[in-house]
Structure 1
């Protein structure tokens, strides 16, 4: 057993900040996944053997650095929103550090610490207000061999494997006797993942053609009187360009046109001007339009973010309302209490009301009157069960509709594209990505992006998409692995707290020949 050398408080805190930056470097748009693996190993080493208060403090500092690097883009909603989110998320990291500092006492800590990472991601993705899990470890595997595991263990399993590799490498440094076996097992994770990437997908019998529209809208117009009209007018204009291309290139005609989230920022059913623009677009296309719309909610002064099927002859049809809303972005928790005390919250606008049920709509087209389209609306991508429900509910074609306008020029659009790629690989389904002004295209089942648009461009793409009916293992088992990781972590933590002495294979932290604990701060 090798004990880490002692570190003065200043260096220890500096290392904590560097550790957070390393862990965050694996997220988009950086994508330096070896840095994440290194940072995870340092995290365990840094908090091992510390007293509870010190472990928690070091974990919070790691979290502050990591979250400030990766998700501070939310500050476009207001600096206070960004600060509050980063600080709150970092508390989860402090709790994780506290748990890890106890788990490393146990013999099988290299297997238990990764379970704690999964448990933390699971809990922070639910608590409070629906949670926020935009930077999970599993999202860092997309451009490396471990991505092959996504179709078999999902993003939850991928998070476990990333943390397992990191802690196995740390264990190999600490235990010379078992170093070769541990390193061989680590290499096997990458090799098997690479081989799984070669597993063939069944060739679909039927395909369909979709015209995908990226309207583009000036970010500075957001929230002004002209924004609601300009975004829908841009969608109509770009639809005309898409139709012109489709009718002159000799390829198949589109089966429907896909508009992104918030392509109409006013209810297209109730507002006559907006309704007329959608009707004109559908009549020109001569096929349905799948409209991302902001609609009036069920109560006064409320709204819903929706996906609405619009037929050129029959008008509005089936509809899905977004289930997972952004707290303090789309709705205000404790609105009656907070709004009078924090007037800045008025910029959020009307309170959004979540929908219910899976994101699957009846989408009849001429060639397939029973077609079902599964949709995932923007922030919902971060939620496993919501994303999986688009497949479980019978969606034969999966689309992702997003409003990236608010976060243009930040890390958010690149991170969202990576999550789309992860979802495509774990579900074994192509995903048609439609955004307002950033990174529209088609993601295939290997996670590759085709026809990617540029940010702040009005653009369109004509894509051929297979109709699939497969349901992958991650979709079938859903959140069961995350619940299992949470149960294992809680059980192991209880056992570790009942033990007085570190077990074999644990990490010890000494700073003197007498073995007095280093951590006194």
Structure 2
């Protein structure tokens, strides 16, 4: 009698109990290791400075998925992704609970699992660590555009503001930094199989990062400017922080008046430009005369233009815009920039009618409309690129703002993190600003309603910063730089090329695997009845 076929990778019915126990223990061990690997990557992100943990997390992933089937790569990658994303995105549930946090973390982990399934496919191709790292770049590119316009928050580069890889951002942007980190990790995983291949892949990315330090320029090739970042603070943290909108506006007016008094007394240099945060005036200054008068009062006192983050309601459709309005002494409002990349489930609500079935709280999400002009402000010799809050996470959005209007020589990031309390969100976002500084060779001014506000030099170093939930003002003289980095000139090309190579490797690995399976499925001359071969590879998440 011919025995019924057994699914590859599954123990046969007559498998000894000891063997079955070993299979279960092995599966459990791999799952635990996958979760630990993801947690290592999470621990590499700010506010911690343990950037070197990220390659170790990728090394764990490389060991687990090497030589396995795609579905095993998917399962292990899902666990690894949850270990990374669940704690990283904990801030999204600070005031709304699990309904936002865990589903978002799961979606991100599922997209990571798609990439790790592909990594399993290319792990059998010669030079596997290289192809696996390229697949990671492709996976990050996917998450930057899907779903809901993309959510690139977990890009590996954003965990490297202190690391040796950071200078690579000036050459190929955030994708090149992520590639270098992943390549180091996968090289480490390959050392036990072939050290002659693995060792160079561990060393070269680190050496390249250190060598690229010489290319990071900080000299003021277009002069200097004195800039102030005002943090007025909010009445309280949480979703209802702006329920006292006038109090938030008054806080920023008062802190600016204090700064003006310090300037007049010689205790602080006079700024040529002042940056207020996003939502510093949730009262439309074009509709509320009193709000406009208060802003202008601060402008006249400091005797410098103030860029004010305001909610402006368009008269054409009566819908709000998240806008930065430039107020100038003796003139009033002269220019504006409207946020282009809106935050889903906050400023907008995708599929509002569908999600309303589950909860009426979806109506708390805004109906903001995006802008379409990346041009910031020109104040004398200063050309400021504006990237409001969530926009700093998107490579193309920041690059467009830097190149618009003949090219910016300073970047401003007005932001509002009060909704997320004392969580790690504000530190993660500051890390993005530091990466952007190196990527585009520009100083960055981060102005937050409740912190952390910061002054970032073109080399990514933080020269000044505030605490959280305290009124403060930072004043610094910064270099104006017009020279474009290689990353600015190339734009998305490095990411596109690396993504194409990664996908090509997946196609090649799939073709090779299919050919191998076809050869194994052919009858072997002289084989007994009922005998059949399998590839012996593990299946499923095990």
Moved more, 376-385 or 492-501: 492-501
Shift in Å at residue 77 of structure 1? 5.1
| 1:28 and 2:37 are equivalent in the alignment | no
TM-score, normalization: structure 2? 0.87
Residues 79-138 of structure 1 show CA distances to partners (whole Å, capped at 9, x for unaligned) of 201121111111111101110110101112111111111111111011111111112112
Aligned residue number for residue 508 of structure 1: none
Aligned residue number for residue 353 of structure 1: 369
Q: How does 1:40-189 map to 2 (within 5 A)?
A: 40-76=58-94, 78-79=96-97, 80-176=99-195, 178=196, 182-184=198-200, 186-189=202-205
Shift in Å at residue 218 of structure 1? 3.0
Shift in Å at residue 306 of structure 1? 1.1
Gaps of 5+ in 1: 504-513
Shift in Å at residue 60 of structure 1? 1.1
Q: How does 1:50-449 map to 2 (within 5 A)?
A: 50-76=68-94, 78-79=96-97, 80-176=99-195, 178=196, 182-184=198-200, 186-199=202-215, 200-220=217-237, 222-223=239-240, 226-249=243-266, 252-297=269-314, 300=317, 302-339=319-356, 342-348=359-365, 350-363=366-379, 368=380, 371-393=382-404, 394-449=407-462
Aligned residue number for residue 511 of structure 2: 498
TM-score, normalization: structure 1? 0.90
Q: SS state of the match for residue 427, structure 2?
A: helix
Shift in Å at residue 223 of structure 1? 2.7
Q: SS state of the match for residue 419, structure 2?
A: coil
Mapped partners of 1:500, 1:333: distance in 2:
40
- Structure whose CA Rg is larger: 2
Q: SS state of the match for residue 197, structure 1?
A: helix
Shift in Å at residue 222 of structure 1? 4.8
Mapped partners of 2:49, 2:333: distance in 1:
41
Mapped partners of 2:367, 2:510: distance in 1:
44
422 and 99 in structure 1: CA distance in 2 versus 1, 3 angstrom threshold: same
Moved more, 190-199 or 230-239: 190-199
Q: SS state of the match for residue 86, structure 1?
A: helix
Contact 2:225 2:382 in 1 (8 A): no
Mapped partners of 1:77, 1:127: distance in 2:
25
Shift in Å at residue 249 of structure 1? 2.3
Contact 1:433 1:440 in 2 (8 A): yes
Q: SS state of the match for residue 8, structure 1?
A: helix
Contact 1:242 1:461 in 2 (8 A): no
Mapped partners of 2:465, 2:106: distance in 1:
34
Shift in Å at residue 301 of structure 1? 5.7
Gaps of 5+ in 2: 1-21, 517-533
Contact 1:150 1:426 in 2 (8 A): yes
Q: How many residues align?
A: 498
Mapped partners of 1:204, 1:247: distance in 2:
30
Mapped partners of 1:103, 1:502: distance in 2:
14
143 and 40 in structure 1: CA distance in 2 versus 1, 3 angstrom threshold: same
Q: SS state of the match for residue 145, structure 1?
A: coil
Contact 1:318 1:362 in 2 (8 A): no
Contact 1:359 1:386 in 2 (8 A): no
502 and 465 in structure 1: CA distance in 2 versus 1, 3 angstrom threshold: farther
Contact 2:37 2:60 in 1 (8 A): yes
Aligned residue number for residue 509 of structure 1: none
Mapped partners of 1:500, 1:461: distance in 2:
59
Shift in Å at residue 341 of structure 1? 5.1
Q: SS state of the match for residue 320, structure 1?
A: strand
Aligned residue number for residue 536 of structure 2: 516
Contact 2:339 2:388 in 1 (8 A): yes
Aligned residue number for residue 28 of structure 2: 10
Mapped partners of 2:499, 2:263: distance in 1:
50
Shift in Å at residue 169 of structure 1? 1.7
Moved more, 230-239 or 162-171: 162-171
Aligned residue number for residue 9 of structure 2: none
Moved more, 16-25 or 142-151: 142-151
Shift in Å at residue 191 of structure 1? 3.1
Contact 2:137 2:499 in 1 (8 A): yes
239 and 225 in structure 1: CA distance in 2 versus 1, 3 angstrom threshold: closer
Contact 1:27 1:135 in 2 (8 A): no
Q: SS state of the match for residue 268, structure 1?
A: coil
Mapped partners of 1:397, 1:192: distance in 2:
27
Mapped partners of 1:110, 1:224: distance in 2:
47
Residues 17-41 of structure 1 show CA distances to partners (whole Å, capped at 9, x for unaligned) of 1111112111112232222111101
Mapped partners of 1:262, 1:327: distance in 2:
17
Moved more, 404-413 or 144-153: 144-153
